[in-house]
A and B are shown apart, each in its own frame.
Chain A
Amino acid sequence: MATGVKKGSEDDSGEFAEFMADISHEIAKRVESLDPTPKSRPAQRKQATPVPDAGVIAEWDNVADRMIEEMG
Chain B
Amino acid sequence: MSVVNYGTREITCKIVYYGPGRSGKTTNLQHVYSQLPEERKGKMVSLATETDRTLFFDFLPLDLGTISGFATRFQLYTVPGQVYYAATRKLVLQGVDGVVFVADSQSRQLAENIESLQDLHANLADEGLDPRTLPLVMQYNKRDLPPGEISGIEELDETLNFRAVPYFPANAINGGGVFETLRSIASTVLGRLSAPAPKGS
- Distance of A3 Cα from B168 Cα, bound (Å): 6
Residues of A within 8 A of B64 (CB): 20, 23-24
Query: Given A27-B67, A30-B4, A35-B6, A5–B190 Cβ distance below 8 Å?
Result: no
Query: Given A6-B176, A27-B72, A1–B167 Cβ distance below 8 Å?
Result: yes
Given contacts A2-B169, A8-B176, A31-B69, 15 further A-B contacts (CB under 8 A): A3-B177, A6-B175, A7-B176, A8-B171, A16-B40, A26-B186, A26-B191, A27-B70, A27-B72, A31-B11, A31-B70, A32-B68, A34-B4, A34-B195, A36-B196
Say how far B67's CB is from chain A's closest CB, in angstroms. Answer: 5
Whether A26 pairs with B6 at a CB distance below 8 angstroms is no
**Total count of chain A residues near the partner, CB < 8 A:** 28
Interface check B163, CB cutoff 8 A: no
Residues of B within 8 A of A19 (CB): 179, 182-183, 186
- Per-position contact with A for B48-73: 1 when CB-CB < 8 Å, else 0? 00000000000000001001111010
Give the dominant DSSP class at B's interface.
Answer: mixed
Whether A37 pairs with B6 at a CB distance below 8 angstroms is yes
CB contact list, B1-28 vs A, under 8 A: 4, 6, 11
Chain B positions near chain A (C-beta within 8 angstroms): 4, 6, 11, 31-32, 35-37, 40, 64, 67-70, 72, 143-144, 153, 166-171, 173-180, 182-184, 186-187, 190-191, 193-196, 198
Residues of A within 8 A of B68 (CB): 24, 27-28, 31-32
Chain A positions near chain B (C-beta within 8 angstroms): 1-9, 12, 15-16, 18-20, 22-24, 26-28, 30-32, 34-37
- Distance of A2 Cα from B143 Cα, bound (Å): 13
- Distance of A15 Cα from B36 Cα, bound (Å): 9
Query: Considering residues A20, A23, A28, A37, which has the most beta carbons from chain B within 10 angstroms of its beta carbon?
Result: A23
The residue that B143 contacts in the complex, of A5, A16, A18, with Cβ under 8 A, is A5
